Amino acid sequence: MSRLPTGTFIPGSSPVHRLDARVKLLSLIALLIAIVSVDTLIGYAVIAAITVFVIGLSGLTLKTAVGSAYRMYLFFILVLLMNTCFFSAEDPWFSFWLIHPSHGGMVQGLIVVFRVFMVLVLSNILTCTTQPMEMTNALESLMSPLRFVKIPTDQIAIIISVAIQFIPTLFEEADMIRKAQTARGATFDSPKLSEKAAAVMPLAIPIFLGAFKRADELSLAMEARGYTGVRIHTNRKKACLRFGDYAAMVSVLAVCILLTAFL
Amino acid sequence: MPIEVNSVSYVYAKGTPFETSALRNVSLTVENGEFVGIMGHTGCGKSTLIQLIDGLMRPTEGKILLDGEDINSKGYDRYKLRRKLGIVFQYPEYQLFETTVERDVAFGLKHLGLSKAEVTDRARWALETVGFDFGKVRGLSPMGLSGGEKRRAAIAGVLAVKPEVLIFDEPVAGLDPLGRDALMELTYDLNAAGTTIIMVSHNADALAEYAGRIIVLENGELIEDGAARQILSDVRKLREKQLGISQPTLIAEMMRERGVDIGHDVIRYNELISRVVLLVNGGVQK
């Protein structure tokens, strides 16, 4: 593993890192709504400025914050071209068959690309600055009203957090098995499709077996320590909102409402 | 077929905030037919080193030469590497996946261009070498075997290729005493038959009995490389580095503290016994 997957939590102590995960999650949702509803140039500029400001606050490098979003450039180019060529038949530069490239279409394409890009970057900032555990706690906390309509939010939260916790373990195990099979002569980078397909089995079977075994052991261990599915467990870090959290939430909401209403 | 590790360094997750240096400027040479033990704490770089030697990772700096050829150079034949080097990972039983034991053992033989009869012969030989009755076990599902049997079957899968160098990563972890002795005997026999053995282990007893040479890693650096007897009998240094000490060495030290000196160089059980017998018979002066 030489390149870090996009969105991996990067430890830090910036104001963004320290913010309550619930605030971050809600802020992201508010910003997403703002991004979709804004439709003036000033509005887009404000959103870009906010994003740059958050990146600056978070202490992430621009490269980390943008993550793999830039690698979607082909998708962006495609979206731009499609919009430019097909968006509207009004006032085209020229017309040929179904293709009517126009100024309006190009602008529309740019807007779509801008929105998708901002959504990607902002969500990436969230996952880069929030520990997976905090995120599940935040989800659990935000979902908790659903308990009154008999939705087992505790169990859902446990399922999510167990799944997230075991991703690195499974990743490591898969890496080990891949190496072991490589050492026995398996090839995973063959260009031939038939060999590629044949290479799946030696990987998939041990990984699945290992995952099932691990799940069995984990459920036993959880039961042995008294887990019954009824909420009696506590969080190690009790999340409580501080002044900074309220301030951030209020200012994000205010900006978003202004953006949505006026720009 | 000597293995040369030439000032090799390895850095994990280079260029990210998680960058860690696992090996720093390690150089060593392993000659044909040696039995080399690698000791060191968890995280000292042992596993990284053997995976680099096996060509499963590329060194960040430095070169690894097999028979004088750089195994990471562009034109190097990977299959040649696989034929020459075999590696048994920690808990190899997790790599089993085929429907029958025989097919699993034969998995590594696909690329060797052997005939069907030869493949069966190899599988038979490998399974018998690890102590199975070939006729009984060949048709069984590897998933139905017991833990110890699974491990032996997985090791047979590596042996079947008949590599000239076998690398073991903590092969005895989680085995019962009988299984442990059987596995160590197996490595001894293979070594006696000419196979070079490189073994990573915390188990000082096992290494003392079988290894001719010991390499000690600490924080990614090679800090000791020498004859097993010299390194494993240096109790003071082993304690200082918090490494395992073999039981016979400990017993000899205890006896010395109580005024009975049977020599500073005892590392194996048979040596301990013969020295004590000599002592009882009056052969060693108090």
B280 touches chain A (CB under 8 A): no
The per-residue pLDDT for A234 is: 60
The per-residue pLDDT for A260 is: 79
- Which H or E element spans position B62? strand B61-66
Q: Would the CB atoms of A184 and B14 count as touching at under 8 Å?
A: no
The per-residue pLDDT for A1 is: 39
- Both A193 and A102 in one domain: the answer is no
Check pLDDT > 90 for residue B167: yes
The per-residue pLDDT for A5 is: 65
Q: Would the CB atoms of A210 and B85 count as touching at under 8 Å?
A: no
A165 is written with which tokens? 């916790």
Interface of B with A in 27-86 (CB under 8 A): 51, 54, 56, 78-79, 82, 85-86
- Both A65 and A82 in one domain: the answer is yes
C-alpha count within 13 angstroms, C-beta hemisphere, residue A11 = 3
Find the closest chain A residue to B96 by CA distance. Answer: A206
Q: What's the average pLDDT block by block, 10 residues per block, for chain A (263 residues)?
A: 63 83 89 87 88 87 78 86 78 74 83 89 87 81 82 80 81 88 80 77 88 90 82 60 83 83 75
Instruction: Report chain A residues touching chain B, CB-CB < 8 A.
Output: 1-4, 10-11, 173, 176-177, 179-187, 201-202, 205-206, 209-210
Q: Name the residue among A177, A185, A188 with its Cα closest to residue B83.
A: A185
Beta-carbon contacts of residue A143 (< 8 Å; ≥ 6 apart): A151, A153, A156, A157
Strand blocks (E) in B97-171: 165-169
The model's pLDDT over A187-212, given as tens digits with 9 standing for 90+, comes to 777 777 777 777 788 888 898 888 89
The per-residue pLDDT for A226 is: 82
CA gap B96, B145 in Å, rounded: 11
> With a threshold of 0.90, does the pTM exceed it?
no
| All domains in chain B, ordered by first residue | 3-245 (3.40.50.300), 246-286 (no CATH)
High-pLDDT (> 70) share of chain B, %? 98
The per-residue pLDDT for A247 is: 84
Is A21 contained in some domain? yes
ipTM over cut 0.95:
no
The model's pLDDT over B9-61, given as tens digits with 9 standing for 90+, comes to 999 877 777 788 889 999 999 999 999 999 998 888 898 999 999 988 899 99
B269 versus A191: which is more confidently predicted? B269
* Set of chain A residues whose Cβ sits within 8 Å of the Cβ of B157: 184
Range of the domain at A45: 13-131+239-263
The model's pLDDT over B91-104, given as tens digits with 9 standing for 90+, comes to 888 888 889 999 99
CA gap A89, A100 in Å, rounded: 6
- Which H or E element spans position B196? strand B196-200
Domains in chain A: how many in total?
2
CA gap B208, A8 in Å, rounded: 44
- Which H or E element spans position B39? strand B35-39
Beta-carbon contacts of residue B237 (< 8 Å; ≥ 6 apart): B224, B231
- Both A72 and A179 in one domain: the answer is no
Instruction: State chain B's mean pLDDT as an integer.
Output: 89
Distance (Å) from the C-alpha of residue B167 to the closest C-alpha of chain A? 11
> Residue B286: pLDDT band by 50, 70, 90 thresholds?
very low
- Both A21 and A98 in one domain: the answer is yes
